[in-house]
Structure 1
């Protein structure tokens, strides 16, 4: 009888211990992080569009996410090869919802330098093709190996909306 009681106590203890849940926190760049559908336009120095969808790709995916340090002052901007193939560590301000590089920085995807400027996330400022509101992202980017600068355009404007998961918004 004692063995049965001990076994029941052990089983109850294991059941209670297995019900504990670890508290999962957010990343430090949560407000800026996400998956984005963006287009890339060629623009002049003032930001006026010279060439819409300069690569003819339509909307492509872009990712913003925290670094391993998980601090609110830096994150990655990564197009995963969808338009130009860049992965860049940028300075971020989570409270102001802004990000940029401090001058040209190394591209972690391949050997070139990248400058990202005037990056910002605008909550609820975009309307998806499905008609729902979504966060907007916009920034300007230049690449040290872009032969079109300054002949065709001064920089590239990347702009779009946060991925919603709806098939109609792809």
Structure 2
């Protein structure tokens, strides 16, 4: 802290010039010097105030920087957790796409089998039609003569 210069001799001379008695002027000069020395510790200078404020601001800035650093760490941890979650979701989506692909392959294979079965059923249906006609022809060729004979025997002879 800078010292304040107080010239007691100059102060006493000045008091004498304005008409203050010499003893009183010297006493006032000594009292003023004592008051300055006594109150000097209570006075602060601009330099001292600037030093105190700079130290306080530096301390405050360090505290704020520390809090920001801690907050940055927490935020980075949260981002890391979210990143792992997103990676897990991405892997799940990849797995689901692979599963869907396998289902699609199975569906295509089943569709091919069903198409093969449908073709076979159409062929069987056509064969059954032919067999019905053949059976009808057999029935007609065997039953009609029997009925004709029966009709002539029982109905006409009768």
Tell which has more relative contact order, 1 or 2 (C-alpha 8 A, sep 6+). Answer: 1
TM-score grouping bracket, smaller chain normalisation: under 0.3
Q: Where is the helix percentage greater, Structure 1 or Structure 2?
A: 2
Question: What TM-score results when the alignment is normalised by the length of structure 2?
Answer: 0.24
